[in-house]
Structure 1
Amino acid sequence: MIKKSIIFFVIVFGSFFIYQKKLKNSNLEIWDLVPAKSIMIIEINDPLDIWNKFSSSVNENQFRDFRKLIDKNISKLNSFLNNKLNVLVDNNNLIVSVSKTSKEGFDFLITSNSKNLDFQYVLKKAKDSLSFDITSRDFNNEKIYDFSDGTNFFSVTILNDFISVSKNTLLIEDVIRTSQNKNLSFKNINQDLFNQVMVQNDFGNIFLNFTELSNSFENHKYLFDQLPKITFFDFNLNENNFYLSGFSNISEEYESSVKIEDNQMMRILPNNTVVFNNSIKTNQKNEKYEVGRLTFLSNYSNVVNEIIIFKKTDNSIIELIKNEVDEKDKINKLKNDSIYLMLRDLEYEHKNLYVFEEAKYLIISSEYNSLKEYIETKNAGDYWRKDFNFSKFLSIMNKNQNKNILINFREFLKNYPFIRNAFSKEVDMLSIQLSDVNNKYYTTLNFNSHSTEYDQVNNNILSFNADNNLILKPHIFLSHVNNLPQVIINDENNFVYHLDNKLKEIWRDSIDSEIISEIFTIDYYNNRKKQILFATKNKVYCYDRLGNILPGFPINNPHLSGYIQDINVIDYDNSKRYRISISSENKAFLIDKYGKKLKGWNPLIMEDRIIQAPKHFRLNGKDYILISLENGNVYLKNRRGFDYDGFPLKLENNLSEEIYIDLNQNFRNSNLIALDNFGLTYFIGLDGKIKKQNQIFRRSRNSNFKMLVDPLKRSYHILSVDENVIYNNEKTINFKNDRDFDYQFYNFGEDDSFTIITDPVSKKSYSFDTNFNTKFKNISNQNRISIIKSKGVYSLYATFNNTISMIEIKN
């Protein structure tokens, strides 16, 4: 079935239902419709021919997803047009322009020749075959047609022999205004760019407005400030590397020409570099010096390191910097004010600066730890040039340039998710180089594609590739057969995998939806053999070690009009007569292991949402069931669902974290430890009385608080999390918390406890001990991590895309 969105492509290329339309007498040209504020413009002649040429020129793995997407839509369009796609595309001209339409939003405007288009046929086809509602309106004496099917929306205008299409109707209005006022036309304002010699038989022409682009990349505006305002490029392909080249005029704001003799500074870049740029600058005494600016990922946090690199010369100011260095290979604080003027020119202004000297360069940073990490890279020889792909990319870059910009685009893209699409996500490295030729900048932009679909997890000694992306923390348990680790994982297509200690598959099975609970091990038959039990939003499952589902399972959600949100397993007196507690919104259920609902819990209806499934503990032969609600109410109940004396207890603020059960030898010394949303910690006795309260330091009104419980429930850890800082026990660490991270806590005893923070977007896990010292180097990982420790060796189970890996780290 043809998707409704195909109409967008139909109009872009024109309908090939061939009816010659009577030509209007007008001098309007296609470029007269392209607004001057466009930030990127792509011009292609014979677009279908160019696409086929592009597809046949790249290797099998390059831009695979992007090519699949385009090929799929071309095929559907051709089918829609009764296999007549080539009729209009031949000798036609296509212009795609991109404009910024919101703070982080871009929209496309597509313009093409329409003289072979029967637009009335298009309207009828869109309405009859694709169920679009079509309305028209007048704007500046021209017609705008709006297409909508409730999900998709776009606007169209036809001006003489040209058709323009956009999903943003404001851009269509811009087209009409531009057609009526040449002062709004991109070509009219930038006529000098069109006087350049344009290469024939390339993939097309591209115009980039770097000035407008810089407004969308606030953290890297300094890069765009080095570039010409607007540049014209020819687009071509050379040995699987893509290059754009063309001219732009030098404006008065750019320095006169001094070329960098070599690319030696690029040879000292760390292998986790994100952005590097260098050029020749002039100091107050009119002396020339080479300077670079480098950002690279930290191995210990998610904060990006930034340093300035000066190439050693005999210049007086460079010597002044050197005079501040007391000993070679030591980091020292800079006190000389003259350096600040040089750094201001680089848009790098900081009060405190540190310097490190090596053989050929002086390295400066406002952060001591940034220099420390750079020195670690230097001592380990962990340079980017040792990567084969980078070394190959470096070899195609031009020598003797005025300015160089080098970007690890895959990492750069993580800062700007709004530009992530099927094309950009497959770009690996990108470079921009400028060389002045006859008072013009000759600009070269190179980029390549990463040829492997998935990154590899570093240092893994065991791995397993699932069929689909993994979405669950690996669950580790010990086999009842040989006491060796076993692993349960879950992929995005709802397959459950059981792996052995070598990460070899034992079995897999399909379930109704993703696992939402902890994975429990039980002894269902009371014969010392383990089974696994878990829940999805609809069912409770139980499997034996061979992948057989146990009789009576899966058990359907007892809350018929809601979803399971959490479960717990209860074994009152170690009799193996298990009970399963289930929470669903404000309802709590208890069922036996056969799925029968139990009296008093069928359901137990609470006044607010239950934070986690009812949790059981036993003390001095007495059973307690804990229930905590979002509104701050805490309940302690017996087996039948009746409250113990002193409960429910109303806390001062709402709750969102689980309550830690701190059991001691007797009733009096045992506590429930709760953390509310404002950072107030409560120590609650089992008699319902608050023994004491402790307010966690709250840095701002937006502070969040985390109660992290060790997987074995032996201890807990509290964190205060702000936008840029994590705080604990009067200690802080700079850490950007601008999205939802996963926080975990592990305690292996003997002062061996640490926190794991996982960023599912950048797919990194960071680890810190309670003093915020780094425990392990950053790990490539996307879900929560699992760790076991034996004989001083940590085994870390990490997931990355469809791969689970086990990494061993010695204590």
Structure 2
Amino acid sequence: MKRLLVFIAILLLAGTGYFTYQKWVKHADLSPWSFLPQNAALVYESDNILERLSQIQDMPVWNNISSLPPFSSLSNNLYLLDTLAGKGTFSNVFGEASSLISVHITSSSTTDLLFITEIKNISQHTYLSKALAYFRDKGYKKKTREYMDFTITEISHPDSGDSFAYIFFKNYFIGSFTAFLVEDAIRTIADDDYPSFSERHGELFQVARLDQDAGNIYFNTSRLSDILGTVSKENISFNLANSSFLDLKITEDAVNLNGFTFSPGNRDFLSIFDKTGGAAFDMAEIVPGNAAWMYHLTFDNNEVFKESVNDYLMVKSPNIFEVRNKILGDYDFDIEHAFTLLDAEIGIVTVESTSRYLNEKLLILEVNDMGEALRFFNTMTERYATSVSDSIYIEQYGEQEIRRLPTDNFPQLMLGNIAEGFDQSYYMNYRNYLIFSNSIYQLKTLLKNIEDEEVWNKSLRFNRFLDRTNNEANFSLYVNTPRSWSKVLGEIKQDWVDYANNNQQALRNMEYLAFQFSNIDSKYYTNITLYQPPRLSSGGQYAIEVEKAISLTDKVSTKPYLVTNHYTKQKEVILQDVKNNVYLIAPDFEALWSVDAGSQVTSDFFQIDYYRNGKLQYAFATAESIHVIDRTGEYLPGFPVKLGENIKIATFNIVDYDNSRNYRFAVSDAKGNLYLTNKDGKILDGWGPLPLESPITSPLRHIRVSGRDFMVALQQNGSITFKTRRAENYPGFPIKTETATTSDFFVNRGNNFTSTYFSTVTGSGELFEVNFSGKVTKREQLYRPNTDTKFSIISDVTGDGYLIVRNTGRRYEVLDEDGNVLFEKDYFSKSPMLIQYYKLGGSVEWIAFVDATDQNLYIYNRSGQLITGGPLRSGVPISVMQFENYYEIYLAEDNQLSVIRVIK
């Protein structure tokens, strides 16, 4: 897009000192629409654009939009316009000019604008003469040429190459930065075989207009794929509808477009709703808060909906029926029967994925009879298993049963390309919803989201957005801009990536988008909402304020861990001081109790449900013992537990194979021995102890893949060890890197052994990636500037990703997963910096550096900007709690525990 998106600013570049009136007898009744070519993708219409701009210029949402190029230069251009012929002249002369601004696709990757305005009086011509003189003084050159008996004038600058072409016909001005668009306008008025936009889309001009809106938008919806194609790296083929008319309204916190969309015939996607009404958005109760975007389909008759979907697919994707019939013949699985199970809603959710290998999705079906729905899908999996002499994949996760559907791409075979991306499908039920995902890990995460109330209908921020939308639309696309940011950047062309990154703050402030269509009398009431919550992100730095603090008797020695009060569900803090006292701190920052643990804690603090009754306890380890304390500060019977008189615990972790709360304690000692006990501390067979070649770098970790349990460890000598629950090696393991390391490791969870990856880096900088089949998939030496340089992996605290740290002396460099440098910092600390990585969602990432000696805390974003303006004070690692409008940072300096509120 070149410079300006409004016609007013274009008049700075175009004009004439006289009015050339051409007589054209056969065009006696003209309007701006007479010149507009039929191939316009979008048209903006206003009868008084200056007045509309003056009405919205102080609104927060417009202030945000106007910071985006090319809107950002609008104020300066308007000021210049208004002073060319004396202050206020432009507003008075052009205040009521009827104007059209249209968007046209000029190549596979570019668009440009055509400007059409009516010239009503001689004052406008006088003004244009002064504007042209201004540009002559700035070095612009003028030339003319003939085209179909019209004189096209072009002004251009010899240095910049900027060029603008225009014509006058009768009392109309037509201009563009792309000359052939002016030629298109000429053909439209001069050639009877070249219809105008209004002739091509006559249905749009039968819709009633609002008088006091910010203008009208006419959208050639049939060209949606072409428009998206100018931005997307991949070809997009999606026929939504034929055309749309929308009234534009701008309020304090939103841009709203309301009107009607037309979709004749069954070639357009909206045609599947032609014969059905809509339903309420009930499934917002289970859409996860980390959803990037969601397609929501509703209907009031599942049989009619099925027929309409099939009619549409028969035109757009007829091969689907061949695949459906084959599956029906091979496995007696009638995909069309799935429609009869539906109640009123379907949701197709794309999640803000933490995986670089998997585009994680959910298909949510609201069903009318869960028993029948489960019987239908479960018996299909059983028939398939019998036919191929295989077992049924069933995984028990807590009280939930998860199964794998053996049919590939079931959602796409049911609904078409809008539901593509499910090469494998796992499914489970929750209430009256049958939920499918291409990632079994995502189903487990969804259950945690629901339990923690991290779903759309529990978000006040999202509910304020929903209040501005149509709750019973047939078809909706909801977009969370921050959550979809990284995915969108991966799909668009580099020029648009650069534009997005350069204008990230303004674009991300438009936090929620909705595009909605509701069937009303063979046309679709359309609502488009771009919502900007009242509180805007401040970009690199945030507003900081101390919220609360407590002074303990002695210096804090551990990270302040956030734990949950099982009665109130509020967050509390558990930590230890240098005198070995473990404290539980209430939400109001009063100490509830303290317990002498006997020595320093060597592990994280974990919360467990030891008795499986919903009441939570605290588990941790010291060098001598395993400890479990209830929320009143009392030890559970039998605790603390010693594994042996001479065993010094080095690492400790909690294992829960299937979310059943049948816990195992995973322990290692300083000699390299592994122990696995039951929840009472009794050592299990094969693990008493299990000796390794060297100590492990981080706690033994349990990973379940395709129903198998892996006990994963990285030894300090570089050996990668995968054990079964019986303490046996998996085939292909251990894998010896032959290089010492003290680094952590990261596991990227996939659906099977080949798509699940173990990643680590050796101390000398060799990056290893191994899949769970035992194959080394990546072995790459990172740049090592010095023989003293050390490398380590820093995993996100929730296990959603990792960064690499390269440390040479006092210099610390932070690298991404591929070894690209993100930023570097120098510290004059007397001890190694303690580093944490937080992926907070919405492409917000924090990297925290703690200088434990001088008790300085530095928190950076991914670009290396200090988000707090200056260092904070902490001598231990931090904890972070995220809320809708702010973050809370829990930190400790000496004996003082504090909470810092960071305003988004």
Q: Normalization by structure 2: what TM-score? A: 0.52
Specify the SS of the correspondent of 2:360.
strand
Contact preservation (8 Å) 1:781, 1:798 = no
1:342 and 2:396 correspond: no
- Matches of residues 140-151 of structure 1 in structure 2 within 5 Å? 140-142=148-150, 143-151=152-160
1:362 and 2:434 correspond: yes
- Could you give the per-residue CA deviations for residues 349-401 of structure 1, whole angstroms, max 9, x where no partner exists? 54421113222322212233333433332333222444433220112222322
> In the alignment, which of 53, 75, 98 is matched to residue 79 of structure 2?
75
Letter in 1 for 2:172: F
Contact preservation (8 Å) 2:114, 2:176 = yes
Letter in 1 for 2:518: S
Match of 1:204 in 2: 215
In the TM superposition, what is the alpha-carbon distance from 1:446 to its structure 2 partner?
1.4
Match of 1:130 in 2: 138
> In the alignment, which of 55, 80, 86 is matched to residue 91 of structure 2?
86
Match of 1:194 in 2: 205
> In the alignment, which of 196, 214, 236 is matched to residue 185 of structure 1?
196
Contact preservation (8 Å) 1:709, 1:717 = no
Match of 1:506 in 2: none
5+ residue gaps, structure 1, are: 464-660, 663-683, 685-693, 720-732, 736-740, 764-773
Letter in 1 for 2:867: T
Specify the SS of the correspondent of 2:67.
helix
Contact preservation (8 Å) 2:5, 2:113 = no
> In the alignment, which of 49, 54, 59 is matched to residue 51 of structure 2?
49
Specify the SS of the correspondent of 2:125.
coil
% identical equivalent positions:
17
> In the alignment, which of 196, 219, 233 is matched to residue 246 of structure 2?
233
Letter in 2 for 1:70: L
- Matches of residues 94-493 of structure 1 in structure 2 within 5 Å? 94-115=99-120, 116-118=124-126, 121=129, 124-142=132-150, 143-151=152-160, 153-160=162-169, 161-181=171-191, 183-217=194-228, 225=238, 227-237=240-250, 240-253=253-266, 254-255=271-272, 256-280=274-298, 281-282=305-306, 284-285=336-337, 287=340, 288-289=342-343, 290-299=345-354, 304-314=359-369, 319-321=375-377, 327=396, 328-335=399-406, 341-344=413-416, 346-348=418-420, 350-412=422-484, 415=488, 416=492, 417=496, 420=500, 426-454=509-537
- Could you give the per-residue CA deviations for residues 516-547 of structure 1, whole angstroms, max 9, x where no partner exists? xxxxxxxxxxxxxxxxxxxxxxxxxxxxxxxx
1:77 & 1:114 partners in 2: Cα distance? 16
Structure 2 CA distance for partners of 1:58 and 1:257, relative to 1, 3 Å = farther
In the TM superposition, what is the alpha-carbon distance from 1:52 to its structure 2 partner?
1.1
Contact preservation (8 Å) 1:334, 1:352 = yes
1:74 & 1:395 partners in 2: Cα distance? 35
Specify the SS of the correspondent of 2:361.
strand
Contact preservation (8 Å) 2:101, 2:114 = yes
Deviates more, 1:157-166 or 1:112-121: 112-121
1:799 and 2:861 correspond: yes
1:761 & 1:96 partners in 2: Cα distance? 44
Contact preservation (8 Å) 1:14, 1:88 = no
Structure 2 CA distance for partners of 1:127 and 1:274, relative to 1, 3 Å = same
Letter in 1 for 2:446: Y
In the TM superposition, what is the alpha-carbon distance from 1:189 to its structure 2 partner?
0.4
2:779 & 2:176 partners in 1: Cα distance? 42
- Matches of residues 761-780 of structure 1 in structure 2 within 5 Å? 777=839
In the TM superposition, what is the alpha-carbon distance from 1:15 to its structure 2 partner?
7.7
Specify the SS of the correspondent of 2:446.
helix
1:442 & 1:33 partners in 2: Cα distance? 28
1:15 & 1:258 partners in 2: Cα distance? 51
- Matches of residues 549-628 of structure 1 in structure 2 within 5 Å? none
- Could you give the per-residue CA deviations for residues 709-766 of structure 1, whole angstroms, max 9, x where no partner exists? 59994434799xxxxxxxxxxxxx999xxxxx99644699xxxx99644999999xxx
In the TM superposition, what is the alpha-carbon distance from 1:223 to its structure 2 partner?
10
1:710 & 1:778 partners in 2: Cα distance? 32
Letter in 2 for 1:133: K
Contact preservation (8 Å) 1:746, 1:755 = no
Structure 2 CA distance for partners of 1:7 and 1:341, relative to 1, 3 Å = closer
Structure 2 CA distance for partners of 1:271 and 1:342, relative to 1, 3 Å = same
1:206 & 1:761 partners in 2: Cα distance? 45
1:755 & 1:429 partners in 2: Cα distance? 31
Structure 2 CA distance for partners of 1:444 and 1:363, relative to 1, 3 Å = same
- Could you give the per-residue CA deviations for residues 260-294 of structure 1, whole angstroms, max 9, x where no partner exists? 42111123222232211111352735635421111
- Could you give the per-residue CA deviations for residues 556-602 of structure 1, whole angstroms, max 9, x where no partner exists? xxxxxxxxxxxxxxxxxxxxxxxxxxxxxxxxxxxxxxxxxxxxxxx
In the TM superposition, what is the alpha-carbon distance from 1:348 to its structure 2 partner?
1.5
5+ residue gaps, structure 2, are: 299-304, 307-334, 382-393, 547-738, 741-763, 772-777, 824-835, 880-889, 892-904
2:249 & 2:843 partners in 1: Cα distance? 36
2:116 & 2:191 partners in 1: Cα distance? 17
Letter in 2 for 1:234: D
Letter in 2 for 1:96: I
Letter in 2 for 1:376: K
- Matches of residues 506-585 of structure 1 in structure 2 within 5 Å? none
Match of 1:625 in 2: none
Contact preservation (8 Å) 2:15, 2:132 = no
Deviates more, 1:60-69 or 1:101-110: 60-69
User: What CA RMSD, in Å, does the superposition of the two structures yield over aligned residues?
Assistant: 5.3
2:198 & 2:821 partners in 1: Cα distance? 40
> In the alignment, which of 781, 785, 790 is matched to residue 715 of structure 1?
790
Structure 2 CA distance for partners of 1:319 and 1:208, relative to 1, 3 Å = farther
In the TM superposition, what is the alpha-carbon distance from 1:339 to its structure 2 partner?
6.0
Contact preservation (8 Å) 2:814, 2:822 = no
Specify the SS of the correspondent of 1:246.
strand
Contact preservation (8 Å) 1:707, 1:716 = no
- Could you give the per-residue CA deviations for residues 375-432 of structure 1, whole angstroms, max 9, x where no partner exists? 3323332224444332201122223221121112355466243675797565221111
Match of 1:40 in 2: 42
- Could you give the per-residue CA deviations for residues 763-788 of structure 1, whole angstroms, max 9, x where no partner exists? 9xxxxxxxxxx975457888995634
Structure 2 CA distance for partners of 1:199 and 1:459, relative to 1, 3 Å = closer
Structure 2 CA distance for partners of 1:188 and 1:794, relative to 1, 3 Å = farther
1:249 & 1:780 partners in 2: Cα distance? 35
Specify the SS of the correspondent of 1:102.
coil
In the TM superposition, what is the alpha-carbon distance from 1:17 to its structure 2 partner?
9.4
Contact preservation (8 Å) 1:321, 1:339 = no
Structure 2 CA distance for partners of 1:171 and 1:197, relative to 1, 3 Å = same
Specify the SS of the correspondent of 1:803.
coil
2:423 & 2:437 partners in 1: Cα distance? 11
Contact preservation (8 Å) 2:17, 2:132 = no
In the TM superposition, what is the alpha-carbon distance from 1:47 to its structure 2 partner?
1.0
Contact preservation (8 Å) 1:61, 1:451 = no
Specify the SS of the correspondent of 1:363.
strand
